[in-house]
Amino acid sequence: MPKYGFLGLGIMGTGMAANLVRAGFEVTVWNRSPEKTAPLVALGARVAAIPKEVVEASEITFAILSDPAAAEAVCFGAGGVLEGLRAGKGYVDMSTVDAGTSRRISAAVAAKGGRFVEAPVSGTRKPAEDGTLIILAAGDRPLFDEARPAFDKMGKKTMYLGETGNGARMKLIVNMIMGGMMTLLCEGLALGEKAGLEQEEILEVIEAGALANPMFKGKGGAILAQNYATSFPLKHMQKDLRLAVLLGDELGQPLHAAAAANETFKQARGLGLGEEDLCAVYKAVKG
């Protein structure tokens, strides 16, 4: 039975690591706020004081951190991943970052004799808890194959996308589309209300036709219920939109709709909504 490590026990990481522990794997965990390790310890996980110790205790270490700065800090910082690596060990970063960040981490891991896979995930809190994420992996193919038993406990679909950077790009594009869709749904609901229409009926019409999709149904219902309990933090969606727009700049691809969505989410962050669910962007749209 392989020994796994897991770094980052936030909204996503807690459920993902728990699924590994429940599957019977030996798992060592770390989180910047130590109190968040308690639920994993109750399930049978071990705890390390610093990321270096997790890597030393594990054959493959998984990480899911909040943004590029956090991913680099855990890798390059004092007591970080690089200090625990030795030849043959695997590091799988499941954070949503830009391709440049992923490539920098990959090169540093390789320089220490380790192996690297990026594997950002598509999904929110419930899929993380249920083990039904979509995993978008790229990088070292043998490490990807070795990590597959763990991926299969964390996700319902795992894709191998080739060279490092492709997983990051795929995730940013998927979230860019989601952010744009979320913005337009909110504008439609706000406009409909001001036009004297029932928002429940707007959602009913959407659900009955070609626009039907799980996000509109779930987030639309949450907006009507004024339930903004965090499944995917609004601040993280804005970060992903910003990184997608930067990718468009890098490649010379116009992204008019994505740029507009980014500004809407940026406005919502300015209103103090960053810690709420991404559907709280409705409050900024409605005004």
The H or E element that residue 43 is part of is helix 38-43
Cβ 234 vs Cβ 269: under 8 Å: yes
- Which residue from 253, 267, 72, 107 is spatially nearest to 172, judged by alpha carbons? 253
Q: Which residues contact 19 (CB under 8 A, 6 or more apart)?
A: 129, 131, 153, 154
> Quick one: 174 exposed, middle or buried, by C-beta within 10 A (0-12, 13-18, 19+)?
middle
* Amino acid making up residue 167: G
- In our burial notation (b when 16+ CB lie closer than 10 A, e otherwise), range 65-103 reads bbbbebbbebbeeeebbbbbbeeebbbbbbbbbbbebbb
Query: Catalytic one among 52, 171, 239, 283?
Result: 171
Residue 157, strand partner residues: 134
* Amino acid making up residue 278: L
89 classed as catalytic: no
Question: Quick one: DSSP state of residue 186?
Answer: H
Please list the active-site residues: 171
